[in-house]
Amino acid sequence: MYERMLNKSDVPTVGTMTTYCGGTATLFTELNEWLSTEYGTAQTIVFPYGNSYGWGISHKRKGKLVCNVFPESGAFAVMLRMSDSQFASVYDQLGDDAKNYIDNKYPCNDGGWIHYRVTDKEQLADAQTMLAVKCGSVKEK
């Protein structure tokens, strides 16, 4: 379960990625559309970090990476890096699952990376809460 799209020679479409997410397909679409609409992110289909990550959608804002969204069989994962202060600013607003990911983040400088798996609406809301902080409060027009 939660296998990723790992065939580098078979470039997927957004539609193929969406279908691959199975029961979370609407949540996958909702997150990608929300990032583009609310924060003006540019989406690109990428195979960014090698065979264990697979295909995903890169979201960049003002040329800087916001997150990567990796479709998985029956779910999707949001990979993002935030500072410790950014994580702390939303920690108390998040569910236990998101807190566990933050508590076990991969450390990097003054923060770290998480690969937050989304399987339901509550987890989507937590991902959006973190991404809103990542993107800042100013919307890009």
In a domain, 9, yes or no: no
* CATH code of the domain containing 73: 3.90.1150
In a domain, 5, yes or no: no
**In the structure, what pLDDT confidence band is assigned to residue 137 with cuts at 50, 70 and 90?**
very low
Question: What pTM was computed for the model?
Answer: 0.94
Q: Note the pLDDT tens digit of each residue in 19-75.
A: 999 999 999 999 999 999 999 999 999 999 988 899 999 999 988 999 999 999 999
- DSSP type of residue 23: G
Number of domains into which the chain is organized: 1
For 21-119, where are the alpha helices, taking DSSP H only? 25-39, 84-91, 96-103
In a domain, 59, yes or no: yes
In a domain, 39, yes or no: yes
* β-pairing verdict for 111-118 and 56-61: unpaired
Between CA 103 and CA 114 the distance in angstroms is 10
Q: Who contacts 84 (Cβ-Cβ below 8 Å, separation ≥6)?
A: 110, 111, 112
